[in-house]
Every structure is written in structure tokens, then in C-alpha cells.
Structure 1
Amino acid sequence: MLVGLNLRAPIVGVPPLIPAISADLGLTPTAAGLLTSLPVLCFALVSPLVAPLARRLGPDGALVAALGLLALATALRPWGTGVVLLVGTALVGVAITVGNVVVPVLVRRDAGRRAPAVMAASTSAFGVGVALSVASAVPVADQIGWRGTVTLLAAPVVVALAVWVARLRKARGGAVLAPAGGSRTGVWREVDAWWLAVFFGMQACLFYSTSTWLPAQLDQDAGLGEALAGTAASVFHLVGIAGTLAVPLAMRLLRGGVGAGVTFGVMWMIFFAGLALAPGLWPVWMVVGGLAQGAGIGLGLTLIAIRPVDADYGRGLSAMVQTVGYAFAATGPVVLGWVHGATGSWPLVSWLCVGVGLVMCVAAVRAGQGRPIGTRAAVGP
């Protein structure tokens, strides 16, 4: 949970500050979109490299190295030019990529049949970190400036690093430090793995696009003003915690991952359609969208952690799904920022996102199935 607290906040805590950052550093809307999409692009490009790193260091050791890099990059990136900020943001993305891949592996290894509940608890911490960072961004920046505010995002990373190092010292010599095996490439030939990747990519695309542009959309279309729009976005992220925690229950009530995945995709569609048709009802849409985004990421990671998979594939499923999924997600904020810049229309952006939600529903029909991936996969998780 401490790790999860830091796997989104250093990225999503920045968008409320984009107006101040852009004014100070002269960033264009497309360059500003890179502050969110660049880490997501790193998720796609670096995920294939995490499995070799984890084989060498063990998943626990790889996570320690990632937290150290994340703390340094988060703290140092605002203290320079726009290029420095973007390079530091890319390093933040590299560090978070390692956490993205190895956390489901650790849950699969250590939690057994409790994996859905443990994954929900860890993923719910994403929302806690994001909600706190988004809600505090503008008020704190009013006091200490945007550079100091971005630097403060490194503080909880240092806490997580200290706790994880203490954990490793306590477990020294035990199985928790042992690297795990796994095939590098076999899972890429599995059709069901690709469906899972598409489902993961669609929900990630919607989440990061919304996180980047929601404050600006609410400011313009609902007339909330910068500060209130930031507060509304924090509500969106805070409600996501409830969505994440509800994933195990939703999977039971909706007969598994298929029903849950389709339901969460429909909720995303309702959220964007509501913003397009009735932006004045934004409190309602923040609740619907918040539940959708929290449940979507929670279900995506849970399916990675519990899906029966050929023993030879090892952690390759997590790396493959996140590589493909985040390749989809990386394009969202930049493309939608370009569409808005070219047309000035947030409703058009919302309707494009409705289409992405529809694709998510279609992918859920195959991604949510519990049949094994791989010819020798075990029947159970």
C-alpha cells in the first residue's frame, strides 16, 4: 500500500499546476500534455525491460532501486528548464514502470487466493496518493510555488523506500529475496493476453487523459474556476478509492471479470457523455467517473495477478499487458490535447472518450474470462 501510494501521485499531481508551469516555462499545450503522457509512454517502452531486471535483483530488490530513482527524479525535476522537467518526468515514468510490473508479481507470489483483496488494497492507495496530491497542489503552490509543490511529491516516496529497505533487511536470506524464473517472450503469442492488454490500455488511456484535462474542461465548460476545478478533480480521484476496493465484491456479484469489466466500461461512457451533455451536473459525473476509474485500474491489475498462466511465462504476463496497454494510454493526453487545441471543443473530446469506453467493454468480454493463458497453465491462480 505504501508503494501504491506513490505509483500515480508523482504524475497526476502535476496537471493542476500546468497553467502555472506553462506560464513560467513557456510550454505549449502539446508539451504540457507530455507531463502526463511521457511517463505513460515510458510504461510502454520500459515494461519489457523490467522482467530481466527483476530476474537479476529479485522483484523486491528491483522495487527498492525503483523507489530510489523515483525519489530523486521527483525531487529534482522542477529545478531547471522545461527540458529538465521533461527528462525528470521521463525518469519518474521509468521508476514507476518497475513498480507497475513487479507489484502484481509480488501479490501473485505472496497473497495466493487472497490476491484480489490484496491487489484492491494496494491499488486503492493509488487513489489516496492521487487525491491528496491533486487536492493540495494549487493551495500549496499558492504558498511555496509550483516548483516546491512538485518537489514535495517525493516525501511519501522516501517513506515507502525506508519501509521497504527495512522489510528487506528483516527478510534477509529468506525466500522473499529470491529472484523468480519466467519466460521472456512466450506470452506475446497468446490471444487472450492481447485482449487483456487492450482492456488494460483502454482504461489507462481514459484515466490519464481525464487526469490531464479534466480541470481545464471543468474550468471552461462548467465555469468552476481553477481552484474549484482542481477540487472537483480531487473528488474524482478520491471516489476512485471506493471503486478500487469494490472490485472483489463486483467480481462476485457480476459473475467474474467479464460482467465487472463491461459494467465499468459503461460507467466510463456515462461519465463522458454527462460531461458533454450536462457539464453543470459535474458533482454527479465526478462520482460516476471516479468509481469507473478506480474500479477499472483495480480490475485490470487484479486480472493480471489472478489469471491462470503457464508457469513458463512467469512475470511476463504483467510486463506484456502493461507494455501494450500503456502504449495505448500514452497517446491519449497528447491526442486529446491536440484535438481540443485544434477545435476548442471539450464536448468533442468527451465523445471520443465515449468511443474508447465502448472498445473497453468489447475487450472485457475476453479479458475477464478465467481460462488459462498458455497450454500448461494451472487451472487455479
Structure 2
Amino acid sequence: MTARSAGLGALIVAVVLVGLNLRAPIVGIAPLIPALSADLGLAPTTAGLLTSLPLLCFALVSPLVAPLARRLGPDGALLMGLGLLAVATVFRPWGSGLVLLAGTALVGVAVTVGNVVVPVIVRRDAGTRAPMVMAISTSAYGAGQGLTAAAAVPVADEIGWRGAMTFLAVPIVIALAVWLMRLRAARGGPVIVPAAGVPRGAVWRQVDAWWLALFFGMQATLFYSASTWLPTQLAQEASTGEELAGTALSIFHLMGITGTLAVPAVMRLLRGGVRAGIAFGALWSLFFAGLALAPELWPIWVVVGGFTQGAGIGLGLTLIAMRPVDADYGRDLSAMVQTAGYALAAAGPVLLGWVHEASGSWALVAWLCAGGGAVMCVAAPRAGAARPIGAPAGR
């Protein structure tokens, strides 16, 4: 084995360990919402904040991560983020509902650091293999989510929901140790500097960037809304019981691995991101319409939705990375899309929790989400267009 291949292998192991923890502390607790809500007296709208608060942090904190990475280096920033994530995960269950929400917000801040700097590290260290490494890293999100969702209720049955949530810190500590070794082996890294000749904030004035943000944000909205409320909906509408509903959520997340890895092949088959985006938006609509019309067929819908959520996030990140840009809008485009997209996604679980609380209908919630899939179909032609962002309209 050459030094280069050994280094690439070590990088893959490291980003997989981090990827396992970049979504699990947020969406993996969904099966525990009925238990913790009953214990802490949380209304559905308030419980929805357990998912929405981190998304709001994604939107608000993303622009602040670049200065942190300039000061500490990308590896140092990630190390700090993982440390904060471990501490917040350990302490957030051990208090009132307010403490739980505050700890969840800190989880969101910590995960935001990983969202922003992991792609920077992969581009720096993986070279021409960066797309492959990013696909593997993104697939680890689904693995972490799925394993956490599957284990949540059984572990909670043994040690309580507080212990189950605290247990999520174990894989975070392992990832932290690996990145500490990387930091000691090679401190620092390339300095992230603003692109010369491109005014700060210029990408926010690009219409196609907003279409891409809408596509990315609606995908995130549907994913986090499903992750938050799917177990509760299945337990009530399909009479699955809490443990089987948690298993369904686990399948939903694990199927995302297949969807993420399928994105390159689907893009080749459909000749680009536009048709792929329309296809994935339509599949989202099918998933939610199926839950509304025939919840008893939930195993079929969970497989469809799981594949779609993995494919959707994979396509969204691929469009950000591959979209042609004039000058050097690349990093600014990524920050803008994540900021605007996650701001949209943050409202989803809370709004849908309020809709259900007000109407008592999960079918209405599902139909609203099916409409979100239609919005993705409308946004896809501009989000996945080949025309460079920043180019003249006729180009």
C-alpha cells in the first residue's frame, strides 16, 4: 500500500466517524419524543424544536465558521466542534425541558462546524477522489441516523430516555480521539481566505443561487420533518407501537445510504441534475401521499422515503459542489445555500407539529409535505441548470 492510498484510507475512516455523528444526535432521538414529552410535559410544537433548533443554528452559525477555521485551521475547528458536541450531548438530557432545548441548540452549533469544515478538509486532502470521499461521508449520516433510531427505544427501555440520549456521546468521543490524532500529526492547513475580485455577499444577489437554496432547503425541510414526526405518525395512524415505529425510522435512515450512493448513477442515467431533481421531488411527494392515503402500507413508504431522503441530500450537496460558477463563488455559494436552506428547514418540524396540534390530522401534515416535493420539482430546472451562477442571463 502506498503512502497516498494509506492517507486516503485514513481520511475515509476519519470522515466516516465524523459523519456518523453529524445527524444522529439530532434526528436519532425522534423515537424518544413520546417518552420525553410525557416526562417533561412538552407540547408537540415544543417537541418539534428538538429538530428545528439545530437547523436554525445551521442557518445562523454557518457564516461564522469560516473565521473560526481561519484562526484554528479546519482540523482545529472540527476538533473544537466535536468537543462541544460531546459535552452538549452528555448534559442536555439531565434537566428540565429548557435545559434539553438549550443543549440541543449547542448540539446544532457544534454540528454546524462539521457541516462547513468537513468538505473543506476533504477537498484539501482527497484531491481528485474528493467526490467519492464526500459520497462516503454523506452516507455515514444515514448509517448514524439509522443505528441510533433502531437502538433508541431498546436502550431507553433498559436505562431510560435520559441514559439513551447520553449514550450518543460514545461515538462522538471516538471521532474526537481520531481527529485529535490527525491534528497532532499535521497541524493547521490551508488558510481560508475570501476570493479575490468577488465582493462579499455577491452570491446573495444571484437568482439561480436562490433557486438552489430553495431546492436544498425544501429537501432538508422534508427530511427533518419526516425524521421528527414519522415515528409518532406511524404509532398513531398505523398502530405500529413505539418500538416498531423506531425500527421504521431506522429503515428510513439506513435506506438513505443506498440513495446517497445512487446519486452519481441516477445523474448519469437522467443526464444531469435537473431531471434527477425532478425525479427525487416526485418521489418525496409519493412518499408523503402514500402515508396519507394508505398508512397501513408503511413498509413500502418507508423504503421509498428512505431512498429519497438519501438521494435528495446527496444531490443537493452535489449540485452545490458541481454547479459552474463565475469567478470564485464556490465557497460563498455553499455558505449561502446552507444558510438560506436550513433557515427554511428550521420552520418545518415546528410548523407541522402546530398543524397537527391544531387539526388533529396527520393526513393534512402529509399532504402539506407532498406539496413540498412538488416545490422541489419546480425548483429543480433552475437549481440544477448548467449555466454558471454569475453569468449573464443570455449565456
TM-score > 0.5 by shorter chain: yes
Deviation at 1:138, TM superposition (A): 0.4
Mapped to 2, the partners of 1:112 and 1:362 lie a distance apart of 34
CA contact (8 A) 1:119 1:298 kept: no
Unaligned runs of 5+ in 1: 377-381
Specify which of 208, 225, 228 is matched with residue 192 of structure 1.
Answer: 208
The answer to whether the 8 A contact 2:288-2:366 is kept is yes
Say which of 267, 281, 288 aligns to 1:251.
Answer: 267
Q: Report the residue type matching 2:64 in the other structure.
A: L
2:291 to 275, 279, 292: 275
Report the residue type matching 1:293 in the other structure. Answer: Q
Structure 1 residue 10: deviation in Å?
Answer: 0.2
Aligned residues: 373
Retained in 2: the 8 A contact 1:104–1:318? no
> Do residues 182 (structure 1) and 198 (structure 2) align?
no
SS at match of 1:372: coil
Match of 2:306 among 290, 298, 302: 290
* 1:9, distance to aligned residue in structure 2 (A): 0.1
CA contact (8 A) 1:74 1:151 kept: yes
User: Counterpart of 1:354 in structure 2: which amino acid?
Assistant: A
Deviation sequence 1:171-205 (CA, Å, 0-9, x none): 23xxx612222254222122222111111100000
Matched, 1:47 2:62: yes
Q: Using a 3 Å threshold, how does the CA distance of structure 1 residues 370 and 181 change in structure 2: closer, same or farther?
A: farther
Inter-partner Cα distance in structure 2 for 1:336 and 1:374: 36
1:275-354 to 2 correspondences below 5 Å: 275-354=291-370
Asked whether 1:221 is paired with 2:237, we answer: yes
CA shift, 1:99, in A, is 1.1
1:310-345 CA-to-partner distances (Å, cap 9, x unmatched) read: 454352222111100001100110010011011111
Cα separation, 1, equivalents of 2:322 and 2:75: 20
Look up the equivalent residue of 2:82 and give its one-letter code: L
One-letter code aligned to 1:93:
G
Task: Quote the offset at 1:362 in angstroms.
Answer: 1.3
Aligned to 1:123: 138
The one-character-per-residue Cα deviations of 1:46-67 (angstroms, maximum 9, x if unpaired) are 1121222222222222111111
List aligned pairs for 1:139-158, cutoff 5 A: 139-158=154-173
1:9 aligned onto 2:9: no
Rate the CA distance shift 1:311–1:92 in 2: closer, same or farther, 3 A.
Answer: farther
Unaligned runs of 5+ in 2: 1-15
What do residues 50-107 of structure 1 show as CA deviations (whole Å, max 9, x unaligned)?
Answer: 2222222222221111111111111111111111111000000011111112223333
Please identify, of 180-189 and 37-46, the stretch whose mean Cα deviation from structure 2 is larger. 180-189
Aligned mates of 1:313, 1:55 — CA distance in 2: 18
Residues of 1 paired with 2:258 and 2:371: CA distance?
A: 25
SS of aligned partner of 1:2: helix
1:66 counterpart residue number? 81
Q: CA distance change for structure 1 residues 311 and 64 in 2, over 3 Å: closer, same or farther?
A: farther
Change (3 A) 1:112 1:153: same
TM-score (norm 2): 0.91
Residue 151 of structure 1 aligns with an amino acid whose one-letter code is T
Aligned to 1:299, the other structure's residue is in SS state: helix
- Percent of aligned pairs with the same amino acid: 75
Q: Distance in 1 between matches of 2:233 and 2:276?
A: 28
Would the alpha carbon gap of residues 3 and 58 (structure 1) be closer, same or farther in structure 2, given more than 3 Å must change? Answer: same
Q: Contact conserved, 2:73 with 2:191, CA < 8 A, in 1?
A: yes
Q: Where does 1:35-114 land on structure 2 (aligned, <5 Å)?
A: 35-114=50-129
Checking the alignment, whether the CA contact within 8 Å between 1:181 and 1:314 is kept in structure 2 is no
Q: CA deviation at 1:375?
A: 5.3
Q: 8 Å contact 1:115–1:306 — kept in the other structure?
A: no
In 2, are the aligned partners of 1:239 and 1:291 still within 8 Å (CA)? yes
Match of 1:235 among 248, 251, 265: 251
Q: Is the 8 A contact 2:66 2:192 kept in 1?
A: no
Q: CA deviation at 1:134?
A: 0.4
**Counterpart of 1:379?**
none
> RMSD over aligned Cα, in angstroms?
1.6
Q: Which amino acid aligns with 2:345?
A: A
Change (3 A) 1:373 1:113: farther
Call closer, same or farther: CA 1:137–1:268 in 2, change over 3 Å.
same
